[in-house]
């Protein structure tokens, strides 16, 4: 029987334009296999079971579950969390032993698998879950079982081993009975009773400026903000590269020492972010017409410069605190092989660069390297088109209406929640765009209508029901 295979995607921004995404998946295949009926296929059974019967005759029942990641699942995904939830029918043990989920290491198919043809599994990567101790004949705990499969899903994404799913089995022993029973994906009593995998992941390739950026090295999230053509972090770095000043806390971000620029500053900024140049800071100041208040905490840009003090000693003596009335950030500019700092005044509108000379410790504010790709798209431009889409929800026929004030050529794409383009249209360059789109031949669900000009993009969700 062909299984329901559904993805429900929740994102923090419109459509898929976010680095962090959560998807929910139901199995493509699941089946139980029974030792006492070794040639029988149970692929259409409405329940799954992990059971050991010790008396009077020993036999086992195991179950197999398999699901596929979507074709568009990013290969660079970092799995933040992944769970498998099983809606319990019965869970009990006469002597309180456990059940396990094991990683399957060979192929199998729901419609043909039997006890005699069962796939192989690993002896490690076991996920144990406890059963309630109850006498045989008495119903056990019916709370859902939620298994943490984060490491396993990450291994599948990284292709450490192939995804053949998991096998549920009871602990092997010869006295008493272990029983765990849950609903299978063939159960017709409700979608939410079927096995479900929920995966939350981060992907650099899905991130856009304005969304938080995840530093995979230490799990820190950094806010980002678009200012003109630049994408900046809106907070200072707190990554410990081994060269932070010993007296400093993370209140204003870490302060990084500059004895050796090449080694001390290497790899501080994550991903395609980098330490800014002096000219990039100057462009930032130009963007606010030299009004430094717009770059401080509470300014309209969201840059939120934190007032910090440099640690330095002009005589090369041990480090000590010295008050300063400026905001200091390291740059890539070098003087005598040491980094120079860019300063913004705590009050007033002074700014510029100053020598580092290798004896100060200052903060680092990272900027996105726009030459690496188009991730730093201005979030404001995503909403830069005033579009009317109706009816929504729809039975399949929708109308897209909006003004094209600049008479630019308009392209319209329809994509699935997995990022796959199912339809594309050239809507022309009229000042008023009115386009009817027929999606009635597509599966019911969530789609995104994407309007694109040369400079702006707008995405709108539509539900086909």
**Residues 185-204 pLDDT 10s:** 898 876 568 899 999 998 88
Same domain, 154 and 29: yes
Number of domains in the chain: 3
Tens of pLDDT, residues 363-407: 899 999 866 544 443 333 334 456 677 787 788 888 888 777 777
Please list, in sequence order, all residues whose beta carbon lies within 8 angstroms of the beta carbon of residue 305, skipping any fewer than 6 positions away: 295, 296, 297, 299, 327, 344, 365
Answer yes or no: are the C-beta atoms of 5 and 28 closer than 8 Å.
Answer: yes
How would you label 328-357 residue by residue, b for 16+ Cβ within 10 Å and e otherwise? bbbbebeeeebbbbbbbbbeeeebebbebb
Same domain, 361 and 383: no
Give a yes or no: residue 388 inside a domain.
yes
Task: Of 16-20, 227-231, 300-304, 444-448, give the lowest mean pLDDT range.
Answer: 16-20
* pLDDT reported for residue 165: 95
Same domain, 36 and 59: yes
* pLDDT reported for residue 126: 79
- Domain endpoint, select from 372, 392, 422: 372
Residue 96: pLDDT band with limits 50, 70, 90: low
- Average pLDDT, whole number, for the chain? 78
Same domain, 357 and 391: no
Same domain, 268 and 337: yes
Range(s) of the domain holding residue 301: 209-372
Residue 321: pLDDT band with limits 50, 70, 90: very low
Q: pLDDT at residue 9 above 50?
A: no
Give a yes or no: residue 354 inside a domain.
yes
- Domain endpoint, select from 349, 372, 395: 372
Same domain, 231 and 181: no
* pLDDT reported for residue 136: 46
Q: What's this model's pTM, rounded to 2 decimal places?
A: 0.66
* pLDDT reported for residue 132: 60
Q: If you average pLDDT over residues 8-37, what whole number do you get?
A: 68
Pairing of strands 367-368, 397-403: unpaired
Same domain, 122 and 56: yes
Same domain, 170 and 107: yes
φ, ψ of residue 11 to 5 degrees: the values are -130, 160
Give a yes or no: residue 172 inside a domain.
yes
Same domain, 141 and 220: no
Give a yes or no: residue 2 inside a domain.
no
Sheet of strand 457-464, all strands in order from the earlier edge strand to the far edge:
421-428, 410-416, 445-452, 457-464
* pLDDT reported for residue 278: 94
Instruction: Identify the CATH number of the domain in which residue 166 sits.
Output: 2.60.120
* pLDDT reported for residue 305: 87
Give a yes or no: residue 1 inside a domain.
no
- CA 113 to CA 237: how far, in whole Å? 53
* pLDDT reported for residue 173: 59
* pLDDT reported for residue 320: 36
Tens of pLDDT, residues 118-161: 999 988 777 877 666 554 444 555 788 899 999 999 999 999 98
* pLDDT reported for residue 419: 63
Same domain, 326 and 389: no
How would you label 152-174 residue by residue, b for 16+ Cβ within 10 Å and e otherwise? bbbbbbeeeeebbbbbbbbbeee
* pLDDT reported for residue 33: 96
* pLDDT reported for residue 172: 63
Residue 242: pLDDT band with limits 50, 70, 90: confident
Q: What percent of the chain has pLDDT over 70?
A: 77
Same domain, 61 and 156: yes
Q: pLDDT at residue 411 above 70?
A: yes
Q: If you average pLDDT over residues 418-435, what whole number do you get?
A: 80
Same domain, 151 and 262: no
Compute and round to an integer the Cα radius of gyration of the chain.
Answer: 29
Tens of pLDDT, residues 251-295: 678 888 776 666 667 788 998 899 999 999 999 999 999 999 999
- Domain endpoint, select from 178, 204, 230: 204
Q: If you average pLDDT over residues 309-336, what whole number do you get?
A: 60
Give a yes or no: residue 158 inside a domain.
yes
């Amino acid at each position: 029987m062909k299984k329901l295979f559904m993805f429900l995607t929740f994102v923090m921004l419109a459509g898929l334009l976010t680095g962090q995404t959560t998807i929910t998946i139901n199995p493509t295949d699941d089946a139980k296999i029974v030792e006492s009926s070794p040639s029988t296929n149970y692929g259409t059974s409405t329940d799954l079971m992990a059971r050991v019967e010790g008396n009077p005759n020993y036999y086992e029942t195991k179950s197999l579950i398999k699901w596929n990641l979507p074709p568009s699942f990013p290969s660079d995904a970092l799995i933040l969390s992944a769970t498998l939830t099983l809606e319990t029918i019965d869970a009990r043990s006469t002597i309180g032993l456990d059940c396990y989920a094991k990683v399957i290491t060979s192929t199998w198919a729901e419609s043909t698998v039997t006890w005699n043809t069962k796939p192989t599994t690993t002896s490690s990567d076991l996920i144990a879950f406890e059963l309630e101790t109850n006498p045989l004949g008495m119903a056990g705990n019916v709370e859902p079982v939620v298994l943490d499969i984060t490491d396993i899903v990450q291994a599948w994404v990284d292709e450490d081993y192939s995804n053949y799913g998991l096998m549920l089995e009871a602990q092997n022993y010869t006295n008493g009975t272990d029983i765990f029973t849950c609903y299978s994906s063939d159960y017709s009593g409700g979608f939410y009773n079927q096995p479900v995998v929920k995966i939350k992941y981060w992907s650099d390739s899905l991130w856009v400026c304005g969304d938080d950026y995840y530093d995979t090295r230490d799990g820190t999230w950094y806010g980002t903000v678009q200012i003109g053509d630049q994408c900046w972090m809106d907070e200072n770095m707190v990554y410990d590269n081994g060269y932070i000043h010993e007296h400093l806390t993370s209140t204003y971000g870490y302060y990084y020492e500059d004895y050796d620029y090449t080694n001390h500053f290497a790899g501080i900024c994550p991903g395609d972010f980098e330490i800014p140049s002096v000219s990039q800071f100057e462009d930032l100041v130009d963007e606010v017409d030299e009004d430094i208040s717009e770059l401080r905490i509470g300014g309209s840009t969201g840059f939120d410069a934190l007032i910090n003090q440099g640690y330095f000693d002009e005589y090369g003596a041990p480090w000590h605190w010295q008050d300063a009335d400026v905001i200091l950030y390291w740059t890539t500019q070098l003087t005598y092989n040491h980094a120079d700092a860019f300063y913004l005044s705590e009050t007033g509108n002074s700014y510029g660069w100053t020598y580092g000379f290798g004896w100060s410790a200052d903060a680092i504010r990272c900027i996105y390297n726009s030459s690496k790709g188009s991730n730093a798209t201005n979030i404001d431009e995503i909403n830069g088109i005033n579009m009317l889409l109706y009816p929504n929800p729809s039975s399949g026929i929708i109308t897209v209406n909006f003004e094209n004030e600049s008479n630019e050529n308009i392209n319209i794409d329809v994509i699935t929640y997995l990022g796959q383009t199912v339809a594309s249209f050239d809507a022309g360059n009229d000042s008023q765009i009115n386009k009817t789109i027929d999606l009635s031949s597509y599966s019911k669900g969530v789609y995104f209508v994407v309007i694109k000009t040369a400079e702006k993009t707008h995405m709108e969700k539509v539900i086909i029901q």
